[in-house]
Structure 1
Amino acid sequence: MNETIVCVVGNVATQPVYRELAAGPSARFRVAVTARYWDREKNAWTDGHTNFFTVWANRQLAVNVAACVEVGQPVVVQGRLKVRTETREGQQQWASADIDAVAIGHDLSRGTALFQRAAKPEGTPAAARPEPNWETPRPADTEHGHPEQQAREAATVT
C-alpha cells in the first residue's frame, strides 16, 4: 500500500535475461538513467550522474520484454522501487536499486516503434464471452414519479 512508484527514462544497458519459472515467466535487464543539465559556462548540455536500475518483469510483460527490448534502446519504465542492501562474505556492503515493472515501453521522443499485440493465451474466445452492460442505471423512480419529472409537471401546471 505504501509503495514507492517510480517512472524512469533511460537506455537499456544489458541484454534482457528471460527465464521460465514455476511462478511464470520472468525477465530482467539493467537500465541506465543519466541526468542532463545545461552548463552555462560551456553553453551546452552536459551529462550528469548515471544511475543504474535492475528492471524485473513478470508474466506477459516478461515475454514481451524478451521479444522486443535490446541493448541501447531508449525505454520508459514504471514500477515499484525496491532498494536492497547486502553484505556478502568477504566483501563490502553494497546496495541495489530494483524496479518491479508494471509497464515498459520504448521512448518515442527518441525514435519510432511498431506496436504489435501479443497473442492471446488459450482460453475463452472473445465471441463466447457475454457483452458487458455499459448502460448507466437510472435512479429508482419514487411512488409519484421521478423527481425531475415531478419538477417538470409542477412547472407546467402553474
Structure 2
Amino acid sequence: MYETTIHVVGNVVDVPRRTRTSNGTVTNFRMASTSRRWDEDAKGFVDGATLWIDVACWGELSGNVSRSVSKGDPVLVVGNLATESWDSESGRRSANRMKAIAVGLNLARGWAEFKRPARAEQAPDVPGPQESDGNPYAARSTDYIGGEETLHMTDSDVSEQEPALT
C-alpha cells in the first residue's frame, strides 16, 4: 500500500498531549501552516490559506516531542498523511491526520539545544568522546575524524569533470 508522505512547516497551536494506549505511547498536537505570497498591489507579503492538521507521534518520538515541543513553537513535521472518518451526531465527519516520522524545531525562527538520550551500552574497547586540545565541541560528536587532510582530501575518480548533459 502506498503512503502519502508530506513535509509541513508551521506552528504548534495547542499543548502536546501524551497518552498511553494499548498500542503504545502517543503524543498528539495540532499545528497550523499558513501560506504567504507576494502581493504586488500591497507591495508586500500577505497571508493565504491556513492548513490545520492533527499530528500523532508514536513510540520514542512521542516521548521526545512531549519533552521538547510546546504550544507556539515553530516546527517542521515529516509524516504520512491519512484521512480518518467517523460518525457523529451531525453525520459523517472526516479529518486529515498526520502520523509523524520526524518532528523538529524550525531553526530559521530561533535556536535550540539538542540532547541525545544515553545509549544503553557502549562497546568496552571504544572510548567515549572526550574534549581534546581544548576543543569543547570534540565531546559532542564521534562522527568527525580529526586532521586537516580529512577536510581537503578528494577521490580523483569522483572529482573528474563530466560533460554537461544536453
So what's the TM-score if we normalise by structure 1? 0.73
Deviation of 1:87 after TM superposition, in Å, equals 3.0
- The 5-angstrom pairing of residues 14-93 of structure 1 reads 14-88=14-88, 90-93=89-92
Matched, 1:112 2:111: yes
Deviates more, 1:14-23 or 1:70-79: 14-23
After superposition, the C-alpha distances for 1:64-112 in whole angstroms (9 at most, x for unaligned) are 0110100111000001000123331x31433211110000000111111
Deviation of 1:57 after TM superposition, in Å, equals 0.4
Identity %: 33
Gaps of 5+ in 2: 127-166
After superposition, the C-alpha distances for 1:32-55 in whole angstroms (9 at most, x for unaligned) are 011111111111111111111110
SS at match of 1:42: coil
Deviation of 1:19 after TM superposition, in Å, equals 1.3
Equivalent residue pairs, number? 126
SS at match of 1:61: helix
2-structure distance, mates of 1:71, 1:56 = 15
2-structure distance, mates of 1:19, 1:118 = 21
* Code of the aligned partner of 2:64: N
Q: Give yes or no for contact 1:17–1:27 (8 Å, CA) kept in 2.
A: yes
SS at match of 2:18: strand
SS at match of 1:63: helix
Point out 4+ residue stretches in structure 1 off by more than 6 angstroms.
Answer: none
1:9 is aligned to 9
2-structure distance, mates of 1:52, 1:73 = 15
Give the superposed CA RMSD. 1.9
SS at match of 2:112: coil
1-structure distance, mates of 2:53, 2:125 = 41
Deviation of 1:129 after TM superposition, in Å, equals 10
Gaps of 5+ in 1: 131-158
* Code of the aligned partner of 2:40: R
2-structure distance, mates of 1:59, 1:129 = 31
2:93 is aligned to 94
Deviation of 1:23 after TM superposition, in Å, equals 2.8
